[in-house]
């Protein structure tokens, strides 16, 4: 898909930059969309508490700025994945509740291994897509095959460099909202 066609899909996956850069873009999108009068729901990765002995991961709700811890303290020296599935379940449930209350756009931090296996934020993705809501997320190259299977080819891939331009988001949101009003 060429850059000229960007904005024609309701499901957008950002790629081509470090996770922290993409999460910042997602947060900026949320602010700009809300400033344009749209109701924005979802979660994005938030800065971790650097004082903790292990890598502390958090998701921040775009509805109310609530923080969800998605990491567990496995103790010093642990090399295992410290992802806390319970924290993901709580964050996912909060997004689903927001979708049920009514929203215009859903922004989800990423589609990763947990989502590909049917966990993590998978139910939030499913709720948003089933409701016909526009979704913006991030997908790493390692998860492309799983993402393509999940979205059945209905997602658009946007390089982070393109997504940095305010015109891209304005055009995309205008097209998506117009298509929803005509449906």
| Per-residue pLDDT at 4 | 28
Q: From the CB of residue 32, how many other CB atoms can be counted at a distance below 10 Å?
A: 15
Q: Tokens 């999108």 — which residue?
A: 29
Task: Judge contact between 108 and 135, C-beta under 8 A.
Answer: yes
Using alpha carbons only, what angle is made at residue 134 by residues 136 and 40, rounded to the nearest 5 degrees?
75
**Per-residue pLDDT tens digits for 40-54:** 999 999 876 555 545
Q: Tokens 């499913």 — which residue?
A: 126
Mean pLDDT, 10 residues at a time, the chain of 183 residues: 42 89 91 90 81 70 92 62 80 97 95 92 94 91 92 85 70 70 62
Rounded Cα gap, residues 109 and 132, in angstroms: 19
| Per-residue pLDDT at 36 | 84
| Per-residue pLDDT at 166 | 61
Task: Judge contact between 45 and 56, C-beta under 8 A.
Answer: no
Each domain of the chain, given as residue ranges in start order, spans: 8-44+85-182
Rounded Cα gap, residues 42 and 61, in angstroms: 6
Query: Which of these CATH numbers, 1.10.287, 3.10.620, 3.40.50, 2.60.40, describes 8-44+85-182?
Result: 3.40.50
Task: Judge contact between 136 and 105, C-beta under 8 A.
Answer: yes
């Amino acid at each position: 898909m060429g850059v000229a066609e960007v904005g024609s899909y309701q499901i957008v996956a950002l790629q081509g930059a470090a996770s922290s850069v993409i999460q910042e873009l997602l947060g900026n999108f949320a602010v700009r969309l809300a400033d344009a009068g749209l109701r924005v729901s979802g979660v994005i990765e938030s800065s971790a508490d650097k004082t903790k002995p292990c890598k502390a991961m958090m998701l921040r709700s775009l509805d109310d700025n609530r923080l969800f811890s998605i990491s567990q303290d496995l103790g010093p020296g642990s090399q295992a994945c410290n992802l806390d599935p319970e924290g993901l379940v709580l964050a996912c449930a909060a997004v689903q509740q927001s979708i049920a209350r009514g929203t215009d756009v859903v922004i989800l931090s990423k589609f990763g291994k947990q989502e590909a296996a049917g966990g993590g934020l998978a139910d939030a993705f499913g709720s948003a897509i089933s409701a016909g809501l526009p979704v913006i997320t991030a997908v790493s190259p390692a998860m492309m095959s799983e993402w393509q299977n999940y979205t059945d080819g209905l997602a658009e891939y946007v390089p982070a460099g393109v997504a940095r331009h305010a015109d891209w988001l304005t055009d995309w949101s205008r097209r998506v909202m117009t298509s929803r009003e005509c449906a």
